[in-house]
Amino acid sequence: MKIFRIYSRSAVTSCLSVAACALGLAATTAHAQSFVNGGFEADNWAPGSNAGASPTGWVTTLSGDGSWPYGVHNDGNTTQEHTLFGNQFIELCAKDCRNSPPVGSISQTVSGFVIGQQYRLDFQHAPEVHADAGFEESIVNVSITGGTPASTNFSGNAVGGYFAQWTAQSLVFTANATSLTFTFTGVDGVTDQSRTESGIDQVSVTALGAAPTPPTSPSTAVPTLSFYGAVLAILGMLLVAGRYFWVSSRNR
């Protein structure tokens, strides 16, 4: 005589719920793209400029003298080193690093991209304008390893005020890989007054649409391992539920 274990209705329901949640979570995270600490608020920097900052979630390449980039925390003076987007931002070097290359940079690798799909990179950009310089130009280079275009310069101009004028910058790019590395670097000029330092803040990425699907023949399409895993998980849960209801009906 065969003996089947009797499962409670609550246990069956719990198993099915867990399986559904696990499969749903896997489907949700498979195509998620987001920067860690894109607003640079995760670190407890002192008010003012903090040399040689390495923000959480980012890989920092210091300038030749080890000072840049700076992590800047609002100090209460809204006409100087101040961000409108939270309390902290990153300052990239340009002219002050002329004699100490490299100028320094920050980078982050983000996963979850779909090859062939278009995305938009967004960030806020402000020049460090010195009081005795008048008009100054700030240029930030963004390179995307694994994306097209691979490198783009963004220009910001302002008159007066340290990082007082912020500009929204954006770049539409195509993913050529599932993981991309984004690098932000200040760009120097020919003379000391031709470039100034750059503030960046609020870095984010947004998917713009579905990636083009290449045509496939039904006869050659092969289900993936994840597909087989999902089928087996569902069959297993149905088997447990079936045993419960079969045993329950016999005991009535």
69-85: pLDDT as tens digits = 999 999 888 777 889 99
Q: Is 236 left (phi over 0), alpha (psi -120 to 50) or beta?
A: alpha
Q: How far apart are CA 39 and CA 85, in angstroms?
A: 8
Asked, for residue 37, whether it belongs to a domain, the answer is no
- pTM surpassing 0.85? no
Amino acid at 31: H
Token pair in block for residue 123 = 């960030």
Q: How far apart are CA 105 and CA 54, in angstroms?
A: 10
- pLDDT 10s digits, 149-205: 999 999 987 766 788 889 999 999 999 999 999 999 999 876 656 688 999 999 999
Residues 102 and 23 in one domain: no
- pLDDT 10s digits, 43-74: 999 999 999 999 999 999 999 999 999 999 99
Asked, for residue 26, whether it belongs to a domain, the answer is yes
Q: Is the pLDDT of residue 99 over 80?
A: no
**Torsion angle of C-alpha atoms 35, 40, 44, 48, degrees rounded to 10:** 170
Asked, for residue 35, whether it belongs to a domain, the answer is no
Residues 15 and 64 in one domain: no
Residues 71 and 157 in one domain: yes
Domain hosting 245: range is 9-30+223-250
What integer pLDDT is reported at residue 15 of this predicted model?
A: 45
Closest CA to 90 of 64, 131, 56: 56
Q: How many domains does the chain have?
A: 2
Q: Which of 99-113, 125-139, 236-250 has the lowest average pLDDT?
A: 236-250
Q: How far apart are CA 43 and CA 72, in angstroms?
A: 11
More confident residue, 77 or 225: 77
Residues 56 and 155 in one domain: yes
